[in-house]
A and B are shown apart, each in its own frame.
Chain A
Amino acid sequence: MNLRISRRAALLGLGALPLSAPAYAQGAPIKVGVLHSLSGTMAISETALRDTVLMMVESQNSQGGIGGRRLEAVVVDPASNWPLFAEKARELLQVHRVDVSFGCWTSVSRKSVLPVYEELNGLLFYPVQYEGEEESRNIFYTGAAPNQQAIPAVEYLMGPDGGEAKRIVLLGTDYVYPRTTNRILRGFLNSKGITNADIMEEYTPFGHSDWQGIVARVKRFAGEGKKTAIVSTINGDANVPFYRELGNQGIKAEDIPCVAFSVGEEELAGIDTRPLVGHLAAWNYFMSVDSPANRDFVQLWRNYIKNPRRVTNDPMEATLIGFKMWAQAVATAGTTSVDAVRTAMIGQKVAAPSGYESEMKANHHLTKPVMIGEIQADGQFSIVSKTPTAIAAENWSPFIPENANRRRG
């Protein structure tokens, strides 16, 4: 506890530095903006990403920075407040003059800062899986697009190992990512011969905590004689009460498996997972991946956070990949100038902790492997399926008909 506080005190110092040292000449530090909520509802997820960026900055500096220049982090708190995200983005770019930013978790925060980054020609790395349907020249998307997470997961559920589900429940928090993902999934399911009568779709508000009724309705829906599976796009806080209710109402993974797209190791840390063994999550990375790059990552993280019980998760890995690629691109370009770095980014490759090589494609999205993990009693995931190679992102889903007349460029 003392350690934590003193680390925070050090952070304050870091945040204070840019105000007192406005110089930026050749050889001056490279500034890395960190735009993650440290208070409010999203702090629960985003503080770990702030720490990941700070860890990467420290690690890069210990290797001599980039091209002889030190890195310096500028941390701001957009406080889970979407207009404040836009304001803080502008502050990072215009006041602190950062060379790159890492930030955002929710889609709305990204949508809020997007016009700012485009107007001021900044560079933002966005590390969370999202609904796609976007492509900005100022943003690099290092999380998964729906085809890198949702569709393979549902394919798995419909396959022999997943239980050959014939009926699907789409449960989500009512915001754009679940809505869009479920729309894509519905299109996909229809194309596989599952009719709308066999799809139940329900949305709940953020932080929904009373799942009794919905879980009971899911049970009823599943009791119609066809093998049923749940696809959960439930966000953040609402997962703990949801899984508790699932466990308490006795929904076993063998009967109604539930695959989640927003539940990772960090979320499971707040749940007793013993009743949940066998439920699934789909990601591009799990902490339990056995690869040299991952061992290094976990070690680096635990050393940095000074807590052997803290876990890593997919968005943290996506942050790490993005950071490494950016560092490589700056080294390649020999400058931090946004246009040069953007060009140098395309085609960068990183040996990711997932054990695969990720490549930045021209659509500003990464190639990623897709992994399905089963929840284990210790809060980790056992990987039960993974794609043989990293697959490219389809940020414009073929299952959304309107994408046909999308405005190009």
Chain B
Amino acid sequence: MPASLASGDPHGTSSLIRWFLLLLLLAALPARGQDFDSLVPGLAGGFTQQAEAVERLGALGDPRALPLLRALSESRLLRAEGGVRVAPDGPAPSGPEVIRINNRVRVALRGALGRLQLVSPDPAERLAAADGLLRARSAEDIPLLEAALAREAVPRIRAHMELALGAARLGSPDPAVRRAGIAALGGTASPEARAVLLAARGTDEALSADVNAAVAAIDRRLSLRRAAETAFQGLSLGSVLLLAALGLAVTFGVMGVINMAHGEFVMIGAYTTVVVQEALRASPTLAPWSLPLAIPAAFLVTAAIGAAMERGLIRHLYGRPLETLLLTFGVGMVLQQVVRLVFGAQNREVISPPWMQGTLTLPFDITVTQNRAWIILFALAVLAATFAAIRLTRFGLEMRAVVQNRRIAATMGIRTGRVDALTFAFGSGIAGLAGVALSQIDNVSPNLGTSYIIDSFMVVVFGGVGSLLGTLIGAFTLGVVNKLLEPWAGAVLAKVAVLVGIMLFIQRRPKGLFALKGRAAES
């Protein structure tokens, strides 16, 4: 992960000396007898020609190739009279003169750039270079990698370079070198190393026993990691369920209102995110903050809709839960179609900020996706905030008082109508927060909410109505069970099995995991 690397120059050498070193290294490679100038026009040719030119330029080791190859990989290389030129800095160029590449050229570029950037002053580039060479696995890179490794100080990059070196050694004609490579790769816990080893096994009958042993060693180390990753997937699904269900835990659990429009509130939260992003797109200072800014916006928008719905409609139907169910279902239909008419039926694009993209490496090399890690944290934060709002604030106190005994609360001067509206708005606002999170993993379309509503109800019923702890444990249990079942039952059957499981579970405990007991709960 680039952000974890210190930028700057860890070696304390000036860049001039680096370039000198690079030249020195490359001069040590066998010369190809190809001239730089004759190769460059090939970059503007057909894909096959491009790939060849890139490979040769990488092998040639002429530092002049580096900016050209970099530009090519970033779609900034342009066709020019008799050759190519690099587009000036600024917005991405467009038009027919931009040189397009395909995957084959990209693979070649990765290897070539790897060679050229291995001693770059930028640690991120050195890391990418090491990864590029790992995939290239060419014996020709061995001296290059050994030299780079000798100078590398950042442990993380060293580890990647060692992997790349091990992979490069597998291509050596000398069996002893190959064996050393196998041993080096077998000492890691890297799936890439495993793939490289397996690829080598097919071409190298003599060493297949060594390879098998190395693969088995990696598999042992990977098993823990895979279990951890499955657990993470379960927690991630659980956090999505938790977010979707939390609002219900308030409106259904506390107020007893079945809000079938809850899913649409989630959807509106997601659309609010889209609107905020589009509104801030023009402002360079605010645009990177659009997602955090969408959080209060989504909360307020859905809370306002919730409050309006409670005061305007639901209020008239207290004590008639089945009618409320129908009414809120109707509200959901109307909201969905209105959004469809206003925003169109197509998916809306939501941009993930850079810190929510890619993977994050935890201790023991467990990799998790950033967006899902953030969503887990976000879900827990929302849960904590909900808990605090109910337990620690005046509003929470009044809310609990009204729930326990509306009449006495009213006689004590609590405006119960206002508390109802606020409670419902609060639950709806949490649905909006769920929408912000879901916009980062699901598509933002008018149907967004429908797929979550039944699952959320299941979480609340399973966890125990009215219990935040139950909702938390219910959501994570369902998420993890789902993910454990998925590999052997398939995604659909896993879900069906979980639904049936809940239906059977509430036979044994009709009030859910964390039931409120006593007379108050029964009436």
A residues bordering B, Cβ < 8 Å? Answer: 1, 4-5, 8, 38-41, 43-44, 47-48, 160-163, 174, 202-205, 207-210, 212-214, 216-217, 219-220, 222-226, 237, 239-241, 244-245, 247-250, 253-255, 257, 266-267, 269-272, 275, 278, 290, 374, 376-378, 382, 384
Contact = CB atoms under 8 A, between A and B. Distances in A.
Interface stretch (B53-61, B157-165, B484-492, B508-516): B484-492
Most central of A48, A203, A249, A270 by chain B CB within 10 Å:
A270
Nearest to A228: B195
B444 A161 contact: no
A237 B443 contact: yes
A212 B233 contact: yes
A162 B103 contact: yes
Contact of A272 (B102, B237, B349): B349
Contacts of B191: 219-220, 223
- Of A44, A214, A220, chain B has the most CB atoms within 10 Å of the CB of A44
B337 A213 contact: no
Given A213-B486, A237-B443, A248-B372, 17 more contacts: A43-B340, A161-B104, A162-B104, A203-B490, A212-B233, A217-B487, A223-B194, A223-B195, A225-B196, A225-B197, A247-B357, A247-B358, A248-B370, A250-B359, A270-B346, A374-B103, A376-B75
Nearest to A46: B345
Contacts of A248: 357-359, 369-372
B347 A237 contact: yes
Contacts of A254: 103, 106-107, 110, 135
A344 B169 CA distance: 67
A265 B337 CA distance: 24
B104 A222 contact: no
Contacts of B230: 213
Contacts, number: 167
Contacts of A237: 347, 443, 445, 447
Contacts of A162: 103-104
B103 A278 contact: yes
A44 B102 contact: no
B341 interface: yes
A225 B195 contact: yes
Given A269-B349, A270-B443, A382 B342 contact: no
A241 B452 CA distance: 14
Interface size class of B (residues with CB under 8 A): 35 or more
B201 A225 contact: yes
Interface of B: 47-48, 75, 92, 94, 96, 100, 102-104, 106-107, 110, 135, 191-192, 194-202, 229-230, 233, 236-237, 240, 337, 340-342, 344-352, 357-359, 369-372, 440-447, 451, 483, 486-487, 490-492, 495
Given A225-B195, A255-B135, A212 B372 contact: yes
B202 A225 contact: yes
21 contacts: A39-B340, A41-B447, A43-B345, A161-B47, A161-B48, A161-B102, A205-B495, A207-B447, A209-B441, A212-B372, A223-B191, A223-B192, A237-B445, A240-B443, A244-B440, A245-B369, A270-B349, A270-B444, A271-B349, A374-B102, A376-B75
A127 B260 CA distance: 36
A174 B491 CA distance: 11
Given A250-B358, A255-B135, A272-B351, A44 B345 contact: yes
Given A160-B48, A240-B443, A213 B357 contact: no
A404 B398 CA distance: 75
A240 B233 contact: no
Contacts of A266: 346
A17 to B, nearest CB: 21
A346 B232 CA distance: 57
Contact of A225 (B104, B198, B236, B492): B198
A212 B236 contact: yes
Given A1-B342, A253-B106, A224 B48 contact: no
A269 B198 contact: no
B351 A214 contact: no
A241 B483 CA distance: 17
Contacts of A217: 487
Contacts of A250: 358-359
Contacts of A39: 337, 340
B348 A163 contact: no
Given A222-B195, A223-B195, A257 B103 contact: yes
A163 B104 contact: yes
Contact of B441 (A216, A244, A249): A244
Nearest to A42: B345
Contacts of B492: 174, 203-205
Contacts of A216: 229, 233
A286 to B, nearest CB: 13
Contacts of B444: 270
A272 B371 CA distance: 14
Nearest to A163: B103
A99 B177 CA distance: 76
B491 A377 contact: no
A267 to B, nearest CB: 7
A268 to B, nearest CB: 9
Contacts of A160: 48, 104
A348 to B, nearest CB: 32
Nearest to B197: A225
A316 to B, nearest CB: 13
Contacts of A44: 345-347, 445, 447
Nearest to B108: A254
A195 to B, nearest CB: 14
A272 B135 CA distance: 26
A43 B369 CA distance: 31
Given A205-B491, A237-B443, A374-B102, A213 B371 contact: no
Nearest to B100: A382
